[in-house]
Amino acid sequence: MTRLALIRHGRTAWNDEARMQGQTDIPLSDAGYQQLLNDIGPALNPKLAGLYWFSSPLKRARTTAGLLCGFAPPLEPRLMEMNWGDWEGKTLAALRQEPGQDLQANEDRGLDFRPTGGESPREVQHRLKSWMAEIAETRPGIAAVCHKGVIRAVMALAYNWNMMGKAPVKLGWSCAHIFDIAPDGTPHPYKMNVSVGSGFGTK
C-alpha cells in the first residue's frame, strides 16, 4: 500500500481576495512565497522527507513544490484544481448577487455541484482515482502539491462523504493530509492536519 501526502500550494493574490482560482494559472503572491521560504524551506517535517514528489502543473503548486522538496518534481495534470469555468476570478459574494444564479441549490447537489462551464467534484474524483490507481504500490511514500478542491475530493472519497452537510474532518490548509492508497486507487484516511514545517502548519 502506498501512503500519499497531499499539500496545498502557498498563498496567492486571488486567495487573499477570496477569488475562485480553479485552473487559472495564478502565481504565488510575494507574501505567499516569503511565507513558504521562511516557514517551510528550513524546517520540512521529517515525515515528508525521502518521499517521491509530484506537483500540479499550475504555477502556484509548482513553485510551492520546488520550495518544499528542493527540485522540480514531475508534473501531473490530474492534480490540477477543479475547473470552475465561468466563475474563475469571481468571489462567492459577487456570484450570489448575479441574477439567475441559484447558488444554494447548486451547492446542495454535493458531489454533483457544478460551476457554469466547469466540472463537478465527482468528476475531479474520477480523474484523481485513475492517478491514484497508477501510483498505488509503486512507492511506499509519495507527496503531491495540489489544491484545496483536489484535497477535498480525495477526503470525500476516503470518508465516503457526499459533500453535503458537515465535512468529516476540518482540514487546515497549511498542513499535509495523509492517505493510504489501496491497489485499486481507493484512498483511506491515515492522518489529517500534519504540520509541514515550523510555523507553516500552525495557522
Per-residue model confidence as pLDDT tens digits over 54-101: 999 999 999 999 988 888 999 999 999 999 999 999 998 898 888 777
Q: Identify whether 88 is a catalytic site residue.
A: no
Q: Identify whether 126 is a catalytic site residue.
A: no
Residues 6+ apart with CB under 8 A from 111: 120, 121, 122, 125, 156, 162, 163
The one catalytic residue among 17, 76, 81, 107: 81
pLDDT of residue 115: 94
The one catalytic residue among 9, 76, 147, 177: 9
Residue 117 cell numbers, joined: 462551464
DSSP string, 53-114: EEE-SSHHHHHHHHHHHSS-PPB-GGGSPP--GGGTT-BHHHHHHSTT--HHHHHTTGGG--
Q: Give the model's confidence band at 30: pLDDT under 50 very low, under 70 low, under 90 confident, else very high.
A: very high
Number of independent structural domains in the chain: 1
Percent of the chain with pLDDT over 70: 93
pLDDT at 202 over 70: no
The CATH number of residue 39's host domain is 3.40.50.1240
Mean pLDDT of the chain: 91
pLDDT of residue 203: 30
pLDDT of residue 120: 98
- CA 94, CA 141: separation in Å to the nearest integer? 41
Task: Give 137-188 pLDDT, tens digit per residue.
Answer: 999 999 999 999 999 999 999 999 999 999 999 999 989 999 999 999 999 9
Domain of residue 196 covers 2-202
